[in-house]
Amino acid sequence: MPPITRLFVKTSLLYLVAAFGAGVLLALRPLLPLPAFVAGLSPVYFHLFMVGWVMQIIVGVAYWMFPKWSKLLPRGHDGLALATYALLNVGLLLRVIAEPAQTVSAWPGWGWLIVLAATLQWLAGLAFIANTWPRVKEK
């Protein structure tokens, strides 16, 4: 398994644990007096699962298992794979901070951080597609 794939897969497993933790906090809200920011964890819970765990494990395994691009670059460009990793994770971590913060603070910057986070995740998707598209072939 290539190092970049291991990085994606191990990171995805950490996000899976974090998503379960967010789910526990959300489930405890009606039962315990928790801090106000917990109310803003619903989108975080979703993003930790879908972007942090599901997308990241798919990207990592696709990088490893898809057909070879060429003999010189069998898995495409490592730099694009690392850019995908960095953009995806910086975007996700910004969301993890900004989504709950927006529920407890009126600072307009939180909304802009969410826009930045979404943009970084979109760019990660484009980098992944650019690196993977040539590997989707008949033989």
Averaged over 3-10, what is the pLDDT?
97
**Alpha-helical regions (H) of 29-77:** 41-47, 56-65
User: What average pLDDT does range 70-88 have in this prediction?
Assistant: 94
* Residue 42 token pair: 């619903």
**58 has a pLDDT exceeding 90:** yes
Half-sphere exposure of 115 (CA within 13 A, CB side): 5
Q: Residue 17: which domain range?
A: 3-135
pLDDT digits 0-9 by tens, 90-138: 999 999 999 999 999 999 999 999 999 999 999 999 999 999 999 998 7
pLDDT at 72 over 80: yes
Q: Region 65-84: what's the mean pLDDT? A: 91
Question: How many CB atoms lie under 10 A from the CB of residue 67?
Answer: 12
Q: 134 near 69, Cβ under 8 Å?
A: yes
DSSP 35: -
Residue 22: the pLDDT is: 96
Q: What is the pLDDT of residues 12-44, one digit of tens each?
A: 999 999 999 999 999 999 999 999 889 889 999
| Sign (positive or negative) of CA dihedral 110, 115, 118, 119 | negative
Domain tally for the chain? Answer: 1
Q: How far is Cα 91 from Cα 85, in angstroms, rounded to an integer?
A: 10
Does the pLDDT value for residue 139 go beyond 80?
no
